[in-house]
Amino acid sequence: MKISKFFKNLGIYSIAIAMTTVSIHAPVMADTIDTQALAMQVELQMQRDDVRSLMARDDVRESLLAYGVSAADLDNRIDNLTESELVQIQNQLELLPAGGSAVGIVVGIILIFVLLDLLGATNVFPAI
């Protein structure tokens, strides 16, 4: 008796199921990605990796730790650098001598502290 009642209402059930499945739409968001935007993202990531490799050097890490900058804060700050800040760091790194003279290392560390001070990670130069 119950099975025959189910079959009587089978048409109503199938219509209800069809209406609910047809009326549900998942939001779709798609956009084209141009090659230039994709190349810029890759270039920014490469610049971040270059800065990370510079900061990964033992002498630079020790200097930053001496000033109270932790490695986690440093990595977080590198991730949050804007495009213009990354370009500015890259330009300064290109001007430094390749031999790693004492003057170049000191200038590089001072540049790093100025950038970290501008970003608010340290307070080495209170006038900035």
- Interval 57-95: pLDDT, tens: 888 788 878 878 787 887 888 888 888 888 887 777 777
Q: How far apart are CA 83 and CA 45, in angstroms?
A: 10
Token pair, residue 75, equals: 């990595």
The model's pLDDT over 30-63, given as tens digits with 9 standing for 90+, comes to 677 788 888 888 888 888 888 888 778 888 788 8
pTM: 0.46
Q: Which amino acid is at 60?
A: V
Helices (H), the chain: 2-8, 10-23, 35-55, 58-66, 71-79, 83-95, 102-119
- Residue 1's pLDDT band (boundaries 50, 70, 90)? very low
Q: Residue 94, exposed/middle/buried by CB under 10 A (0-12, 13-18, 19+)? A: exposed
